[in-house]
Amino acid sequence: MASNVLFYLFAGFAIACALSLVYHRNPLYSAISLIGVFIALSCIYVTLAAPFIAAVQILIYAGAIMVLVVFVIMLLNLDEDRPLTRLKYLYALGAGLGLILLVQTFFIFYAVMRAPNHTVNVDQTVGKTLSIGQAMYSEYLLPVEIVGVLLLMAIIGGVILVRRLEPTQLRLVINEELDRRNEGQEKDDFRIAL
């Protein structure tokens, strides 16, 4: 009974933070609301006896990834957006897609409530560190290694793309971008010097 109450409490908190995420116009407030969603999901994982996934949710998503998101938001220095009046039809499209999502949610809730209850073996609970480690390095070893190689290739590709331009070519790209933005007077600014 207590686990049901905690689940509904954390689920309500996650939904409230998600609504706050969509509602706010300031991207920094939206990022903070997204951190609230991640924390609520982590608490739900704890109630489902998956402490490793809960810790990874906090460390990776609410910690590292959200720090990067906030860092990018601060680097972009977004100004207040003017309201878009030419995309009014997207409100109707969004409402229709939201209604479809709501119907799917109720269908899944109905299907879960009708499913028979099975007893769970506590020793074989999915989500514990031991069971995840055993699965990753026995049954799913090849996919884990493939993902590792793909990530290594992405890192090497990113380094090669960054290192490809020489300083003179990079200065030319910066000057062209400043001309495009009509900020030609900042070409020799010390803050963007190489």
Q: Which of 139, 131, 127, 134 is nearest to 53 (CA)?
A: 127
Q: What is the pLDDT of residues 73-84, one digit of tens each?
A: 777 766 555 665
Inside any domain, residue 28? yes
Q: Which of 22, 25, 20, 23 is nearest to 81 (CA)?
A: 25
Q: What is the pLDDT of residues 92-136, one digit of tens each?
A: 888 898 899 889 888 888 888 887 877 766 666 565 677 778 888
Inside any domain, residue 77? yes
CATH number of the domain enclosing 69: 1.20.120.1200
Inside any domain, residue 133? no
For residue 11, what are the domain limits?
1-122
Inside any domain, residue 32? yes
The pair of three-digit structure tokens given for residue 146, joined into one six-digit string:
């493939």
Task: Report how many domains make up the chain.
Answer: 1
Inside any domain, residue 178? no
Inside any domain, residue 12? yes
Q: Give the chain as a 3 state SS string.
A: CHHHHHHHHHHHHHHHHHHHHHHCCCHHHHHHHHHHHHHHHHHHHHHCCCHHHHHHHHHHHHHHHHHHHHHHHHHHCCCCCCCCCCCCHHHHHHHHHHHHHHHHHHHHHHHHHHCCCCCCCHHHCCCCHHHHHHHHHHHCHHHHHHHHHHHHHHHHHHHHHHHCCCHHHHHHHHHHHHHHCCCHHHCCCHHHCC
Q: What is the pLDDT of residues 142-191, one digit of tens each?
A: 888 888 888 888 888 777 666 655 666 667 777 777 777 765 555 555 45
The stretch 51-65 carries a mean pLDDT of 85
Inside any domain, residue 101? yes
- Residue 117: phi, psi to the nearest 5? -85, 135
Quote the pTM value: 0.54
Inside any domain, residue 108? yes
Instruction: Judge whether 21 and 34 are in contact, CB under 8 Å.
Output: yes
Cα separation, 143 vs 151, in Å, equals: 12
Considering 9-18, 49-58, 167-176, the range whose residues carry the highest mean pLDDT is 9-18
Cα separation, 158 vs 152, in Å, equals: 10
Cα separation, 15 vs 21, in Å, equals: 10
